Chains A and B, each alone.
Chain A
Amino acid sequence: DTAVSQTPKYLVTQMGNDKSIKCEQNLGHDTMYWYKQDSKKFLKIMFSYNNKELIINETVPNRFSPKSPDKAHLNLHINSLELGDSAVYFCASSHQGNGYGYTFGSGTRLTVV
């Protein structure tokens, strides 16, 4: 049973489109995250949600909007996709934000053409 699952695994889309990536965790964690890993493999925090409340938003364009219907799900919606959005997006979850039980999904490789 996958602990943190993301869909889709691969996403190829044209510039200007709107797309969503879904994430679900079955670990009972209360905090979920979205990270972006660029072509240089640097992993950068985008959003963190604790019990459905946004607690961090690192200088991410407002074209990106996280949505959390409940504490087991954190989806990422991206409007007006740009070439620079191409990257691998990772969802993760943990008990609070201080590292305990940090578990990653397998990633979504987004390619904007």
Chain B
Amino acid sequence: KQEVTQIPAALSVPEGENLVLNCSFTDSAIYNLQWFRQDPGKGLTSLLLIQSSQREQTSGRLNASLDKSSGRSTLYIAASQPGDSATYLCAAPYNNNDMRFGAGTRLTVKP
């Protein structure tokens, strides 16, 4: 069974700081790992998808890494902005049937 854990549960930083969100998963036989963003009262938006053959993926100020052997992924956000405030969710596939989600990290970036 795929279980996804995210640390920390909440994070508050001043604007401009670089930060790292952590994700761990129990079943390393995955095709990919995905990071999503959820704004309050909204659905989920896909940020980055890392293929199992990749070590990392970048989009703008976001960089996600994947270490299948240790069952870990990190999401690095550079030069954080107040607009980055949201909940960030990590998801890993299970049995090629669906994605299993962590509980998320609620990020607040203070101006």
Which residues of A are at the interface with B, using a C-beta cutoff of 8 A? 33, 35, 40-45, 48, 55-56, 90, 92, 94, 96-100, 102-107
The prevalent SS among residues of B at the interface is strand
Residues of B in contact (CB 8 Å), total 27
- The B18-52 residues at the A interface (CB cut-off 8 A) are 31-34, 36, 38, 41-46, 49
Q: How far is the CA of A48 from the CA of B100 in the complex (A)?
A: 12
Min Cβ gap A96→B in Å is 7
Judging by beta carbons under 8 Å apart, are B46 and A102 in contact? yes
Q: Report whether A99 and B43 are in contact in the complex, using a CB–CB cutoff of 8 Å.
A: no
| Complex contacts, A102 vs chain B, CB 8 Å | 34, 46, 91, 99
Residues on the B chain within 8 Å of A48, using CB: 97-98
Contact A96 B103 (CB under 8 A): no
Whether a CB of chain A sits under 8 angstroms from the CB of B89 is yes
Which residues of B come within 8 Å of A, CB atoms?
Answer: 31-34, 36, 38, 41-46, 49, 87, 89, 91, 93, 95-101, 103-104, 106
Given known contacts A99-B31, A99-B32, A56 and B101 CB-to-CB distance under 8 angstroms: no
Contact B32 A100 (CB under 8 A): yes
Which residues of chain B come closer than 8 Å to A104, judged between CB atoms? Answer: 36, 43-45
**A106 CB contact (under 8 Å) in B43, B89, B104, B106:** B43
